[in-house]
Amino acid sequence: MSSPTRWAGVRMADRRAERREQLVAAAFDLFGSAGEGALSVRSVCRACGFNSRYFYESFADTDELLGAVYDRTEAELATTIEGKLAGCDDSVRARTRLGIRSVLEFGSADPRRGRVLFTEARANPVLAQRRAATQELLRELAVAENQVHEPDATTNGVRAAMFTGAMAELAQQWLTGGLGTDLDAVVDVAVNLMLS
């Protein structure tokens, strides 16, 4: 358990924020490594060395904590993609390639990320709800990105919807090993199919 002097001299708001971040990090590790069965108030508090009251100052339950884990992981992915696209040329092919590769690399660089964003997000109700919201955001971004090259709203909307659904399944298959181990080959095929 945390010692009384652990937070000495730290402002209350800063203490809470730090504890909350530690709880999210511990939950990411537990859930991302071993799945839903590994995540409980007790296991997260044990991993942090906290009394359970510190859990409840930040979260009502493990569902709320798991939502925070998803949100943080999804924000990291968005930041990664935005950063890479910022230095990319404007061609549709280059941007599509970089976007696909970034998603697949992000998930496979740390399998816990893939489990949170793609694998477990299919079955867990908390993650499924967030995944649906993320996919809608991705669809809207794809529409906005493609408007420059595809002025027809229907064509653009269909293309964006197909891209969004295909990316979720592609990431799932890549992370579970269903597409082999050659990332370049997978990205090449995906880009060619999406832009054909």
Q: How many other C-beta atoms can be found within 10 angstroms of the C-beta atom of residue 53?
A: 8
The residues near 110 (Cβ < 8 Å, ≥ 6 apart) are: 32
Alpha helices in the chain (DSSP H): 12-34, 41-48, 52-56, 62-86, 92-109, 111-114, 125-146, 153-175, 183-195
Read off the pLDDT of residues 23-56 as tens digits, 9 standing for 90 and up.
999 999 999 999 888 999 999 999 999 999 999 9
Cα atoms in the Cβ-side hemisphere of radius 13 Å centred on 153: 0
Q: Cα dist. 68→75, 79, 173 in Å?
A: 10, 16, 25
171 alpha carbon, distance to own chain's centre: 11
Greater confidence (60 vs 140) lies with 60
Confidence category of residue 6, pLDDT binned at 50, 70, 90: low
Say what the pLDDT of residue 128 is: 87
Domains and CATH numbers, the chain: 12-59 (1.10.10.60), 69-195 (1.10.357.10)
Rounded to two decimals, what is the model's pTM? Answer: 0.85
Read off the pLDDT of residues 49-88 as tens digits, 9 standing for 90 and up.
999 999 999 999 999 999 999 999 999 998 998 888 888 8
Q: Can you tell me the distance from the alpha carbon of 93 to that of 98, in angstroms, rounded to the nearest whole number?
A: 9
